[in-house]
Amino acid sequence: MNESLRIAIVQQRMYWTTQENTQFILGKIESAARHGAQICVFPELAVTGFHRQIRTEATPEIVAPALSDIRKACAKFRVASLVGTPTFDTFGNIFNSAEFITDTGETCATIAKIGITPAEATFFAEGAERPIVDFLGHRSTAILCREANDVELLQAQIATNTVDIIYWPGIMRPDPEKPDNAEHHLLDASSLAKHTGAYIIQANWPMSLNYPEESIDSGHSIVISPSGETLFRLPKAQVGMGVFTLGDTHFIWIEL
């Protein structure tokens, strides 16, 4: 695997509308290109924002033009992107998905969240597959948010040495119900990295609109090596972009 890949992780400012979130994303794709990144990774539901107004924002009429603009930006600046977005099928189902967009502006894969929470299930349908795709020459897949806790299922879905990079868009914070191990999802992600032999690259929201008081422990996106070791973490509760070369233990932090 070529480990000279330059990646930007965006800890994105969240807005209530798709238009505002999309404008933020477009600017960050351009910024990622200026800093030499080849892939730009955004959080879960980055296009609409992940908040209580998702029901009004997650419509094909609103999301389709936003994704079209993002694809055009990827092609213009020659930066591939992984963006969290609602997706839709012909039966009226809405999915919480990760969309892989190449540096030519083409969608090469869409992975719908399988492990949805009971609250999400009132609006989103459950995904069915977790494909492995060629994303800029690296075998890649995605897990979304607390799917990382479903270690046994993920290990069954992703066999050892079948994937190089697992992208992990989410909106998560330490679990206050488990003070003895507040970030237990990171241990599960480390176990997954060791099982698969893949890098895990998280892009976590640094803020919450629904519960702003919880933002203090948000962000802190992590990159985990194939041996399960933490390579680095981005700042807590800060909007910005970390740019790094795959395999490095350091990054450049750009405040946004």
Task: Output the pLDDT for position 221.
Answer: 98
Is the model's pLDDT at 181 over the cut of 70? no
93-114 pLDDT tens trace: 999 999 999 999 999 999 999 9
Q: What domains does the chain contain, in order, with CATH numbers?
A: 6-255 (3.60.110.10)
Q: What percentage of the chain exceeds 70 in pLDDT?
A: 96
Is the model's pLDDT at 228 over the cut of 80? yes
Is the model's pLDDT at 10 over the cut of 80? yes
Is the model's pLDDT at 177 over the cut of 80? no
Q: Locate 166 and state its tokens.
A: 């697992």
**Average pLDDT estimate for 176-183:** 66
119-174 pLDDT tens trace: 999 999 999 999 999 999 999 999 999 999 999 999 999 999 999 999 999 999 87
DSSP string, 156-193: HHS-TTS-SEEEEEE-----TT-GGGTTHHHHHHHHHH
Q: What percentage of the chain exceeds 90 in pLDDT?
A: 92
**Sign (positive/negative) of CA torsion 71, 208, 240, 147?**
negative
Task: Output the pLDDT for position 256.
Answer: 85
23 — pLDDT class (breaks 50, 70, 90): very high
Is the model's pLDDT at 207 over the cut of 60? yes
State pTM to two decimals.
0.97
